[in-house]
Amino acid sequence: MNTGTDDLLARVERGVGVVTLNRPDRRNALSRPMLDALAEVLTAFAGDDTVRALLLTGAGKAFCAGGDVKAFAERGGAAGGEETFEDKVARQLASQRATTGALHTFPKPTVAALPGAAAGAGIGLALACDLRVGSPTTVFATAFAKVGLSGDYGTTWLLSQIAGPARARRALLLGDRIDADTALEWGVLDQVAEDATTHAFEIAAGLAAGPRQAYASMKQNLLDAGACSLDEAMAREVPRHLTCGQTDDHHEAVRAFVERRPPSFRGDPTTPAST
């Protein structure tokens, strides 16, 4: 897939949309072309029926170093440049909603593969994914305070939701490096593998072969769980659950269970079960 920039690579393999942050010489620090392309790719993959899961990773030995501090220096700081303050806020908010926000609400399963470090805004991108696979050398470093910034790309909210408020305060205020073992304990990583990218791809491919409508409904339920009461959540779960029960995928799974074989999911979210 042509992303329009070398800073971001994208392809589809075995039903997985593979997105690679591709600035290894800068530890995949974010650039405007990278972020613009990421927003476009996420929109395209969300609407592409051949893409049934998403893998986000970084080229080389790092996942993402966050903001490009060298670029900050060149333009006089993170808030530098010729735009008005209001225009900067509007542009950056739109970009962050189209990247971190889009990953968090992506209608298909998402997996982040972290071959190495994630820092600053890179943590936000990783935590916006459903699952995260690291390597033994993966570390997380919020790093915002070290450059006199407070945090963006949803990092504070996502870290608080996943690791808990106390751990988020510790990570942000003290800037401690979080190693792979600690990240597993905190829930910031779900698994660790020697080859994080290959292992994460196999997880994503397994999800891509699963029941598409069920996964989409699960993701809606999970998003609702943090924003509504139990009664409201159940009121939303029931119609989704019954809708899944009308699909060929559900009927195939039931047949496979009775026949003691693995199910073969077709994954068409719009087709009710045939009679």
Provide mean pLDDT across the span 222-226: 94
Check residue 266 and give its pLDDT.
86
Specify whether the CB–CB gap between 53 and 114 falls below 8 A: no
Domains, the chain:
8-208 (3.90.226.10), 212-259 (1.10.12.10)
Provide mean pLDDT across the span 251-275: 79
Check residue 272 and give its pLDDT.
46
What are the structure tokens assigned to 13, written together?
Answer: 């393999």
Give residues with Cβ within 8 angstroms of 262, minimum separation 6. Answer: 256
- pLDDT score of 274 more than 50: no
Per-chain mean pLDDT for the chain: 94
Specify whether the CB–CB gap between 183 and 138 falls below 8 A: yes
Check residue 226 and give its pLDDT.
86
**Burial group, residue 47, by CB count within 10 angstroms (0-12, 13-18, 19+):** exposed
Structure pTM?
0.93
Which conformational region is residue 182 in: left (phi greater than 0), alpha (psi within -120 to 50 degrees), or beta? alpha
The number of beta carbons lying within 10 Å of the beta carbon of residue 43 is: 12
Q: How confident is the model over 123-169, as pLDDT tens digits? A: 999 999 999 999 999 999 999 999 999 999 999 999 999 999 999 99
Check residue 83 and give its pLDDT.
87
How remote is the C-alpha of 110 from its chain's centroid?
Answer: 5
Q: For 81, which DSSP code?
A: S
For residue 112, give Cα distances in angstroms to 3, 48, 91, 197.
19, 19, 25, 8
Provide mean pLDDT across the span 83-90: 93
Check residue 258 and give its pLDDT.
97
Q: Which residue has the tokens 């990783």?
A: 126
Q: Rounded to an integer, what distance in angstroms lies between the CA atom of residue 27 and that of residue 257?
A: 46
Provide mean pLDDT across the span 114-118: 98
Check residue 69 and give its pLDDT.
78
Q: Binning pLDDT at 50, 70 and 90, where does residue 82 land?
A: confident
